[in-house]
Amino acid sequence: MGTLESVIEDHDIELMKKIMRSTPLPSQRELDTALALAVDPEPGLPETIVPLFQGCARITKSVFEDAASMLNYGWDINSVELAVGGEAHAKWVLDHGADPNVIGKQASPLATAALEPLSRVLDILISHGADLDPYTLFQGYDPTW
């Protein structure tokens, strides 16, 4: 199996998906490097940005500097799952204009964050104006807990 870096250089989306499902997961350094390559106009592979965020890739200085190129590919600050990258990720995207009420693939960011009781993401979302709808706690309820 290739590396995330080679996947982006070869524009191989299927192999990228396979790597992101593998065990062990890529290291933090590999994720961060891959994200920097994905947003870079050359080689660039914007389709990998969301999966890399879901894998907890961090927004490094080089990624931030290439944010303009991300916008050229149709990415916007609401394109990422808010509750998926941990506290620093949620705070960064919210501080840069993300809507805390955008519904993701399955539920609101608040409901997703409610599944992680030890995380501060729930507090961060509320402090950034997330709607406290009556179903949030129900959606985040884990019946095995």
Q: Which two tokens stand for residue 30?
A: 């590999």
| C-alpha closest to that of 125 among 137, 138, 107, 112 | 112
Distance of alpha carbon 46 from the chain centroid = 13
Q: Kindly state the DSSP code that residue 78 receives in the 8-state scheme.
A: G
Helix (H) or strand (E) holding 63: helix 61-65
Is the CB of residue 2 less than 8 Å from the CB of residue 10? Answer: yes
Question: Would you say residue 65 has pLDDT above 80?
Answer: no
Residue type, 24: P
**Predicted structure pTM score:** 0.50
pLDDT 10s digits, 98-116: 888 887 666 677 777 777 7
Using 50, 70 and 90 to split pLDDT, how confident is the model at 79? low
Instruction: Pick 99 or 43 by higher pLDDT.
Output: 99
| 137-to-109, 142, 143 alpha-carbon distances in Å | 11, 10, 12
